[in-house]
Amino acid sequence: MIGMALYWLCIFRVFASSVEVIVEPPMWWVGMAQPKLQLLLRGKDIGAATIQLQQYPNVKMLSQQSVANSDYLFVNLLINEGAATGQLQFKVTWPDGQESILSYALGARKKASAARKGFDNSDVIYLINPDRFANGDVSNDTQANLLEGVTPTDPDGRHGGDIAGIIQYLDYLAQLGVTQLWLTPVLENNHPKYSYHGYAITDFYQVDGRMGSNEAYRTLSLLAQKQGMGLVMDMVLNHSGSHHWWVSAPPTPDWLNPKTHLGQFSATSHARQTIQDPHASSNDKRAFSDGWFVPDMADLNQRQPLLAQYLIQNAIWWVEYADLSGIRVDTYSYSDKTFLTEWTKALLDEYPQLGIVGEEWSTNPAIASYWQQGKHNHDGYESYLPSVMDFSLQQAVIEGLQEPESWNTGLIKIYQSLANDFLYPHPEKLLVFADNHDMSRVFTSLKQDVAKTKMALGLLLTTRGIAQLYYGSEILLDNTPSDAHGVIRADFPGGFAHHTVNAFTGQGLTPAQKDMQQWLTQLLNFRKQQAVLHQGDLMHFSPQNGVYVYFRYNDDQSLMMILNNNARPLTLELSRFNERLIGYRHYQSPLQLELKGDLDKPIELSPNSFTLLQLQQ
């Protein structure tokens, strides 16, 4: 097998004659399900050169394709079964008659790479903003070739967190009980300001130097696996940063959607319902999918076939290179929907069990369910996306825990959201969460009420779906009084040298923070061991008197969860739930060992409480 570092250094930038030629993808693998490979070559007047592949067994050059911009050339290869690892050699003949050799590496795949297990409903995904989690390497905070340096006191500036910092605290994350790490994008964002968030990518094949390196990212994946955790990459298909090389010099005129229309900035309408609306005009649909998010994020035209293939191969490349367990797709529905089908299908053809979740920020499950694999849509659209984010349930939890109880307010909102599961072909694959990096933290939204925060997290960690936890929830991070993104994405206490509070060691945490951290660690590690919470059925009972009861059960086990949304203690009679109590006589709480009793007697509930009971025969 060719050493990864060797062909990375040799292949990413190739000098042919006196011209620097950059090749993307920077290398590839033999034995992929899709034998065709498209190479993008970028260099001065490379489009006028002639490329010939030197003889290599079971590899064939199908064509070279020039485009409007002569600084680009696309080369199409066929890598047949039986091709060996090694270096492909291309003879490049330049317009002036000079000849040079361009090398390209084919590597060996990890054993059983195609059969990798992605994230599923046995997992809890821990969402991290890397710049704000921990600074493990202060030497990379500011770099001469990147426009923005570190400004730790600016909420919208770079604070210096990096991949090395996450590696440093993998033990903490494993002990907490999470099983997957979702990092907001770590790829290069070379912008003069507000670059820390990662969603304005300027190089789709390069980790931002202030975050570390490609090798560091791959090392994180390997070390996380050793701790029982997978790595989920946050990918952006809809747009790139305005400083990306293809914005000022696109390969084709239709590579990007127009930035202006009739002299005005062509902003997206954000009207995501137009995609499903049977009455929508074509103009409204284009206004949603072809508009730009902001002036600094160039909207990509995935209808351009060369760009579409570029994005497909880029995703496959990162899964293979970094040994990913899954992908979270930013602003999923904003991309061309035909392309999205092609993109997800291509990934699942290579990795049938790969976890993929799309962000469709709609609280209307009729809109969100349109995108899930297996949905029979009214317009015949076929999606291959395994999972979508459950914004409906997130909103219902936050609102339901704060409203007074009535026939249409309070806990009934949670019940109603889950009752809409019939709209989804696979509700068990939905990503459930109390908050994320784009909204106020759960502790803030619930007005710093610790008890209700436990109710929200307890529910979302025991209901159906794949659970996601935002970094810092375990220590009650709070963005009051501001909902600005730079404040929501606060530093994790202890991750930076100037911090006096350290959540990794417990130093300086308040009693409430320590209690939450201990409680959540206990719940997460309990969840990890409970197959009934991974594959069990869900039955819930309509809330009454401010109490919501639901069960997770299979043939061998049953768990009973109770939310008391009253500010007073309550005695709960259990006869109403007899259909789920048959065969069981006793209960005990794994979170409160002193809480145990007989199922033929009422249960005493604490005010504003989440109660988890294991039923016993």
**Catalytic site positions:** 330, 359
DSSP character for 292?
A: B
φ/ψ of 172, rounded to 5, equals: -60, -45
CA distance 61 to 79: 9
DSSP H or E stretch at residue 541: strand 537-544
* Helix (H), strand (E) at residue 501: none
Cβ neighbours for 1, distance < 8 A, ≥ 6 positions apart = 85, 107, 108
The tokens describing 88, both together, are 């492909």
Could you tell me the strand order of the sheet in which 586-588 lies? 537-544, 547-553, 558-564, 609-616, 586-588, 596-598
Among residues 17, 24, 25, the alpha carbon closest in space to that of 49 is found at 17
Residue 479 DSSP one-character state: -
What is the C-alpha to C-alpha distance for residues 109 and 327, in angstroms, rounded to an integer?
19
Q: Please give the C-alpha separations between residue 606 and each of 181, 345, 402, 571, 577, in angstroms, as whole numbers.
A: 34, 49, 17, 9, 19
For residues 381-398, b (16+ Cβ closer than 10 Å) or e, as one string? bebbbbbbbbbbbbebbb
CB 278 within 8 A of CB 379: yes
